[in-house]
C-alpha cells in the first residue's frame, strides 16, 4: 500500500525535549502504546509510539489502512488525529494534546468537585462522539476499549474520546497478548468477556460503566481482580441485566433518568441494549430536568436573600 502524504508524518519532524522519547517526556500509556509529549511544526502534540514495532506485510498494510480512515475523522467530541508515521521502527500516531490528562485521573486523583450538570454535559459529549463513530462510513468504528482512561480533558474542562479504532493493532498489542482480550475487563460486556466480538453494543455497555463511575466517583469493580470480575460477569447469563447492575450499585441521589440509561446499557444480551442515539436523547431530557432544578434553586436562594434583606432593614 502506497504512503499517503496527506497524513504520513516524517518521524524526524517530531521534536522531543531531550531529543528522544523518554521518561522525561512520557505523559501516559494505553493498551497498545506509550504516549510522549512532543512538538510538531511548533505545536504541542501527543505522540503515541506503538508497543508492536515489528509489524510487516499484511499487519503493516492494515495499520496504514486504519490510520487512513481515522485521520479523516473530525468531531468536537473526539481527539483530533494529526497523522502517523507508518515506517518501522518508529510506528507512531500523532494526536491533539489534551493538557489536563484523562477523565480517570480527574475523578480518582483529584478532589475537584463537579456538579450533576457538568457530569451530564460530559456524558452527552461522550455519547455524541460515539454516535459519530458508530455512524462512520463506509462502516461503523467500534471503540473496543471505551473507559475513563480513554476520555481526555483539556484546559477548558471539555472531554474528548481517544484510542478509538485500530482494532487490529489493539488485538496484536502486548497487553492483549498478556491478558487474552482486548480492552479493559472492568468495562467489558458479558459477550466480550466470553470471547465474543466487540460491537456497537459492547461500546454502549462500557459507556454505562463510565456513567456509574461519574455518578459515584469510584473505580468500577475496585475490590475484585480480573478473574473475580470474569466469574461474576459469566455466572448468570440468563439474567436480564448483567452482573454490573447488582455489583455496581447506583447511589440513591442519582437522577432517575440515569438509572434508566445505565440499565438500558447493561442488558445481558447485546441486542437488548440501547443505541447511542437513544442514550443521547435520554440524556438531553435529564439535562433539561437538571437545568430546571438549578433554576428553581437559584430562584429560591434569591427569594431567601431578598426576604432576609427586607427583614433586617431598619424601620424608617
Indicate the average pLDDT of the chain.
88
The per-residue pLDDT for range 242-283, each reduced to its tens digit, is 999 999 999 998 998 999 999 999 999 999 999 999 999 999
For CATH 3.30.200.20, list the domain ranges present in the chain: 11-96
Q: Domain 11-96 belongs to what architecture?
A: 2-Layer Sandwich (3.30)
The candidate with the shortest Cα–Cα distance to 41, out of 102, 79, 97, is 97
For CATH 1.10.510.10, list the domain ranges present in the chain: 103-292
Is the model's pLDDT at 194 over the cut of 70? Answer: yes
| pTM for the whole structure | 0.87
Residue 183: pLDDT band with limits 50, 70, 90: low
CATH class of 103-292: mainly alpha
Active-site residue identified among 13, 145, 156, 223: 145
Residue appearing with cell numbers 510487516 = 56
Burial of residue 38, with CB atoms counted within 10 A of its CB: 0-12 exposed, 13-18 middle, 19 or more buried:
buried
Active site residue 145: yes
Instruction: Specify the pLDDT at position 172.
Output: 43
Q: Specify the higher pLDDT residue, 187 or 6.
A: 187
Residue 119: pLDDT band with limits 50, 70, 90: very high
The per-residue pLDDT for range 155-178, each reduced to its tens digit, is 999 999 998 866 544 444 433 334
Task: Report in angstroms the alpha-carbon separations of 315 from 159, 304, 306.
Answer: 54, 20, 16
Task: Map 133-163 to HEC letters.
Answer: HHCCCCCCCCCCCCCHHHEEECCCCCEEECC
49 is in an annotated binding site: yes
Residues of the chain above pLDDT 70, percent: 88
Amino acid at each position: 500500500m502506497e504512503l499517503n502524504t496527506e497524513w504520513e508524518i516524517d518521524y524526524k519532524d517530531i521534536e522531543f525535549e531531550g531529543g528522544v522519547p523518554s521518561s522525561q517526556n512520557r505523559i501516559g500509556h494505553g493498551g497498545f502504546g506509550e504516549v510522549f509529549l512532543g512538538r510538531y511544526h511548533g505545536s504541542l502534540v501527543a505522540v503515541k509510539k506503538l508497543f508492536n514495532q515489528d509489524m510487516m506485510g499484511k499487519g503493516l498494510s492494515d495499520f496504514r489502512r486504519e490510520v487512513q480512515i481515522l485521520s479523516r475523522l473530525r468531531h468536537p467530541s473526539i481527539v483530533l488525529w494529526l497523522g502517523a508515521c507508518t515506517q518501522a521502527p518508529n510506528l507512531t500516531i500523532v494526536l491533539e494534546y489534551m493538557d489536563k490528562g484523562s477523565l480517570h485521573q480527574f475523578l480518582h486523583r483529584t478532589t475537584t468537585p463537579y456538579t450533576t450538570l457538568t457530569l451530564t454535559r460530559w456524558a452527552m459529549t461522550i455519547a455524541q462522539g460515539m454516535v459519530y463513530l458508530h455512524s462512520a462510513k463506509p462502516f461503523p468504528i467500534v471503540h473496543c476499549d471505551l473507559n475513563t482512561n480513554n476520555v481526555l480533558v483539556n484546559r477548558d474542562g471539555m472531554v474528548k474520546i481517544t484510542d478509538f479504532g485500530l482494532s487490529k493493532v489493539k488485538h496484536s498489542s502486548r497487553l492483549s497478548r498478556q491478558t487474552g482480550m482486548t480492552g479493559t475487563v472492568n468495562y467489558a460486556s458479558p459477550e466480550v468477556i466470553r470471547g465474543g466480538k466487540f460491537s456497537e453494543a459492547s461500546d454502549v455497555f462500557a459507556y454505562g460503566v463510565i456513567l456509574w463511575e461519574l455518578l459515584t466517583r469510584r473505580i468500577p469493580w475496585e475490590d475484585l481482580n480480573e478473574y473475580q470480575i470474569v466469574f461474576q460477569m459469566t455466572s448468570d447469563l440468563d439474567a436480564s441485566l448483567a452482573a454490573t447492575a447488582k455489583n455496581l450499585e447506583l447511589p440513591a441521589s442519582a437522577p432517575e433518568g440515569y438509572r434508566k440509561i445505565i440499565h438500558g446499557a447493561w442488558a445481558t444480551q447485546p441486542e437488548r441494549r440501547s443505541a447511542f442515539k437513544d442514550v443521547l436523547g435520554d440524556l438531553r431530557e435529564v439535562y433539561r430536568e437538571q437545568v430546571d432544578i438549578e433554576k428553581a434553586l437559584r430562584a429560591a436562594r434569591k427569594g431567601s436573600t431578598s426576604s432576609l434583606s427586607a427583614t433586617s432593614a431598619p424601620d424608617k
